[in-house]
Amino acid sequence: MFRFISTGLVLCTMLLTNEVQGGQSTVVSLTATIDDVFTKYLANGNVITKRITGLFYRDSHGRTRIDRGDLVIIQDPTTQTNIVINMKTKLARRLVSSSSNAKPASAPTILSIKKNSPYKDLGSRIMDGIAAKGIEYSLTVPSGAVGNRDPIRQITEVWYSEHIALSLMTKASNPLDGDHLQTYHDIVQGATVDPGLFKIPTDVRVEDVKPIPRK
């Protein structure tokens, strides 16, 4: 039900986190709470709302971890490795990028949006005590891509902190999936983050996933 938005937001958050890291040897280590709220509007006027809360960790090397129930997502830019662990089934899927500059093509960054796409500057605001800059942009799913007769337009609003290199709030809306609001709060800057959080537990089976070649 939320395939289009949720996938895009996860990828967008990852890249927004890594965007500044590419030119820095260290970043601000931190911990935070991450909230995702999905809202689906039905034709009969009914509304379905789903909320998912998780924990976010990042160390000074830019490695990140998100815990959401039985699901753990780890990104390690030092080894270009992405890991998704299902703690219930004890299975980890690991993807290692073949290039140090490899990035998912479908996930835009703030810099690429400003360089290549029309966008609206939303100015600056303070969020959870942290200064952030906002932009709004749109993505279009062409006719026929998912069986749709007409193009589907998604509008995304991102509030990004350059100081801590993190998107504090991202909101995406489209008529197919509804709304997805993702926010970070209770942010602790300079937190001591256990390096073991970025390792696969020894009791978890690892399955390596091959990158999908770009056409």
Residues ≥6 apart with Cβ < 8 Å to 185:
32, 33, 35, 128
**Residue 12 has what pLDDT?**
42
pLDDT digits (tens, 9 = 90+) for 25-83: 568 999 999 999 999 999 999 999 999 999 999 999 999 999 999 999 999 998 999 99
Q: Which residue has the higher pLDDT, 109 or 192?
A: 192
**Residue 105 has what pLDDT?**
35
**Residue 27 has what pLDDT?**
84
Nearest partner of 132 among 157, 111, 159, judged by Cα: 159
Classified as helix, coil or strand, 209 is: strand
**Residue 159 has what pLDDT?**
94
pLDDT digits (tens, 9 = 90+) for 143-174: 988 888 998 888 999 999 989 989 999 999 98
* C-alpha to C-alpha distance for 197 and 80, rounded to whole angstroms: 16
pLDDT above 70: residue 8: no
pLDDT above 80: residue 5: no
pLDDT digits (tens, 9 = 90+) for 105-136: 334 456 666 666 688 999 999 998 999 999 99
Write down the domain spans for the chain. Answer: 3-209
The DSSP symbol for 15 reads H
Of the candidate ranges 168-172, 173-177, 206-210, the one whose mean pLDDT is the lowest: 173-177
Output the DSSP codes for 19-71.
Answer: HTGGG-S----EEEEEEEEEEEE-TTS-EEEEEEEEEEEE-TT--EEEEETTE
CATH number of 3-209: 2.50.20.10
pLDDT above 90: residue 100: no
